[in-house]
Amino acid sequence: MGFPWQTFDPFLFCAHHQDVYPSGNAQLGIDKDQLGGRALGSDFEKKDGFRMYHGKQIPGFPYHPHCGFETITLVTEGYIDHSDSLGAAARFGEGDVQWMTAGSGVQHSEMFPMLQSDKENRLELFQIWLNLPARSKQVDAHFEMIWADEIPQWKSNGVFTRLIYGQIEGHTQSVCPPNSWASDRQNHLQLVQYIIDPGATLQLPGTDQQLHRALYQYKGTSQINGQGFEEGTGIFIEEQEGLTIKNSSEKPVYFILMQGKPIGEPVAKYGPFVMNTSQEIEQVIQNYRRTEFGGWPWPNAEHVHDAGRGRFAQYPDGYIKLPNQIT
């Protein structure tokens, strides 16, 4: 599947990060003596089990801009510290999902705090870039946090299902930003994680809708409609096609399903900016140089939150949302 995974309209790509970091220091980073031989600032080569990405002291992605699309971030292990130019902030992980509409422009950082000072810090996350149609590329930026206990998940006949977004088997997860492509039910957006136990079988029905559907097997081996598939395989599913997925191995097999109605518009990309034409890209670049999308209100580029703080989401208006909070 490569890095990042190739996806199909309305999706732009999916990045799967899995790293095992050493114990953290007092700054929630990694001591310099463990960072030798790395291209700090652009470290994407896994060495000693981990990458620093664009971080120099703390792994992750220091503040950077986005415009014209959305990010959907599922963290299955470890934590992310989010800060942005709207004044929003969060610490999330262990099954939480953050959904951010970049819209007309936002800056944010995604740092991986090394909260464990006496043992290794494990991290696994999936970040999906979902495109916006032309009519929504200039909407206001929006930040949404969906805690793990708000996400439907269940296990039946040896198949674990986590419904990140959409409707299946009588379950619904419909929380998303108001201007998302997903917010219109007619677009049939669906994001699902499946984990199939050894000996178990998953049946995926076909659809009569004109949708793009893809299945990404990111860990383990399986048989799909009788054909063997190895780890790191992406499968584009034909509209009418149903799949019988069997795990004949001795270990669980892991999948992400991505589905949605295509937007069907031209895509012009330049780094973190996604518009419809090259002229619009030039306009976005000029706007960013002029406004910096509101500037950076946090103390430093690799901003992380206090070590003792648990999971939280602070919205631009100051409202704070906590896990298990009744609203």
Q: Using one digit for the tens of pLDDT, what is the confidence trace for 139-175? A: 999 999 999 999 999 999 999 999 999 999 899 999 9
256-311 pLDDT per residue, tens: 999 999 999 999 999 999 999 999 999 999 999 999 999 999 999 999 999 999 99
Q: Which CATH number characterizes residue 198's domain?
A: 2.60.120.10
Residues contacting residue 245 through CB under 8 Å, at least 6 positions apart = 194, 196, 201, 202, 203, 204, 215, 222, 223, 224, 253, 255
pLDDT at 324: 82
Same domain assignment for residues 197 and 276? no
Decide if pLDDT at 240 tops 60.
Answer: yes
Chain-centre distance for alpha carbon 49: 21
Tokens (6 digits) for 299: 């103390």
**Domain total of the chain:** 2
pLDDT at 13: 94
Q: What pTM value is reported for the model? A: 0.96
Verify that 180 and 83 share a domain, yes or no: no
pLDDT for the residue numbered 2: 64
Q: Please state the φ and ψ torsions of residue 133, each to the nearest 5 degrees.
A: -70, 165
- The arrangement of strands across the sheet holding 106-111 comes to 60-66, 106-111, 79-84, 89-93, 312-314, 320-321
Is residue 109 located within the same domain as residue 10?
A: yes
If you count them, how many residues does the chain have?
A: 327
Mean of all residue pLDDT scores within the chain: 95
Going by pLDDT thresholds of 50, 70 and 90, the confidence category of residue 326 is low
103-114 pLDDT per residue, tens: 999 999 999 999
Q: What are phi and psi of 33, to 5 degrees?
A: -70, -10
Measure Cα distances from 114 to 24, 31, 80 in Å: 5, 11, 10
Q: Is residue 325 part of a domain?
A: no
Give 45-100 pLDDT, tens digit per residue: 999 999 999 999 999 999 999 999 999 999 999 999 999 999 999 999 999 999 99
Question: Which amino acid is residue 285, in one-letter code?
Answer: I
Judge whether 119 lies within some domain.
yes
Residue 29: its pLDDT value, please? 98
Q: Would you state the structure tokens that stand for residue 253, as one six-digit string?
A: 């097999």
Domain that holds residue 23: 1-150+266-300
Asked whether 30 and 22 are in contact (CB, 8 A), the reply is: yes
